[in-house]
């Protein structure tokens, strides 16, 4: 995949789906952690595997070299070895089978790339550079992470509860001015522990829509 190709952003549901990581080193461990966090059924194929991966009961580990064609048995594949030829073979197998493949630090051998991710409860913010600079993506992620505190989870909960209440009442939420509510001082009220007042401010802003 050329790095100048526009990429289509999407959040994949891998919960309960078989995913393969080819490689057993430090980079592979990071990829495995991200997949496990989302409930994937992860298999590792590598001649050598880091001890913490080998000891994880959630993983299926095969200590051997990757064999051509194996990528076809999985929904999602990550090639994270230090051998470009192996990574390329995994990518080619995935392409031939219609399986999405990411090759760590090799955007040409990718059918998808992985953004830097910030999570705060159910909130997820991703940063990507189209494969041009993973370092910049990681730097931006740290800046976002410093801003995204637990108060945003409370804010999300208030918005979700109010949206549900409106829907239960048989009203549409589409035409309401949610952005004005978010641009008010709701977040400051939440940071100050004034949750009830924040809820009232939200309801007052929506009533003006």
Q: What is the dihedral of CA 167, 169, 170, 175, to 10 degrees?
A: -60
pLDDT attached to residue 106: 86
Per the listing, tokens 């009533």 go with 207
Q: Quote the pLDDT of residue 134.
A: 83
Q: Please report the pLDDT score of residue 209 as a whole number.
A: 66
Query: 112-166, pLDDT tens digit by residue?
Result: 988 889 999 999 999 988 778 889 999 999 999 999 999 999 999 999 999 999 9
For the cut 70, the answer to whether the pLDDT of residue 37 exceeds it is yes
pLDDT of residue 2: 56
Segment 52-103, tens digit of pLDDT: 999 999 999 999 999 999 999 999 999 999 999 999 999 999 999 999 999 9
- Predicted local distance difference test score (pLDDT) of residue 129: 87
Q: Are 111 and 128 in contact (CB under 8 A)?
A: no
pLDDT band for position 178 (cuts 50, 70, 90) = very high
Residue 1 scores a pLDDT above 60: no
Contacts made by residues 125-132, CB under 8 angstroms, sequence distance 24+: 126/9, 128/7, 128/9, 130/3, 130/4, 130/5, 130/6, 130/7, 131/1, 131/3, 131/107, 132/3
The pLDDT assigned to 130 comes to 78
pLDDT of 188 higher than 70: yes
CA-wise closest residue to 180 among 203, 158, 197 = 203
Supply the pLDDT for residue 208: 79
Residue 43, pLDDT above cutoff 80:
yes
Reported confidence tier of residue 6, pLDDT bands at 50, 70, 90: confident
Which domains, ranges and CATH numbers included, belong to the chain? Answer: 18-114 (3.40.50.720), 151-207 (no CATH)
């Amino acid at each position: 995949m050329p790095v100048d190709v526009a990429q289509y952003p999407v959040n994949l549901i891998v919960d309960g789906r078989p995913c393969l990581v080819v490689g057993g080193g430090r980079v592979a461990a990071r990829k495995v952690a991200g997949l496990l966090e989302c409930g994937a059924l992860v298999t590792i194929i590598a001649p050598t595997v880091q001890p913490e991966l080998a000891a994880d009961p959630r993983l299926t580990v095969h200590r051997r070299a990757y064999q051509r064609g194996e990528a076809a048995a999985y929904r999602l594949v990550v090639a994270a070895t230090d051998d470009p030829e192996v990574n390329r073979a995994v990518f080619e197998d995935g392409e031939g089978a219609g399986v999405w493949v990411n090759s760590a630090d090799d955007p040409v051998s990718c059918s998808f790339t992985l953004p830097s991710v910030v999570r705060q409860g159910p909130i997820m913010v991703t940063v990507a550079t189209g494969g041009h600079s993973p370092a910049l993506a990681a730097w931006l992620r740290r800046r976002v992470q410093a801003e995204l505190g637990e108060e945003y989870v409370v804010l999300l909960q208030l918005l979700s509860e109010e949206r549900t209440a409106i829907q239960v009442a048989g009203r549409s939420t589409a035409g309401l001015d949610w952005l004005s509510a978010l641009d008010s001082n709701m977040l400051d009220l939440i940071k100050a522990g004034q949750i009830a007042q924040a809820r009232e401010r939200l309801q007052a802003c929506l009533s003006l829509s």
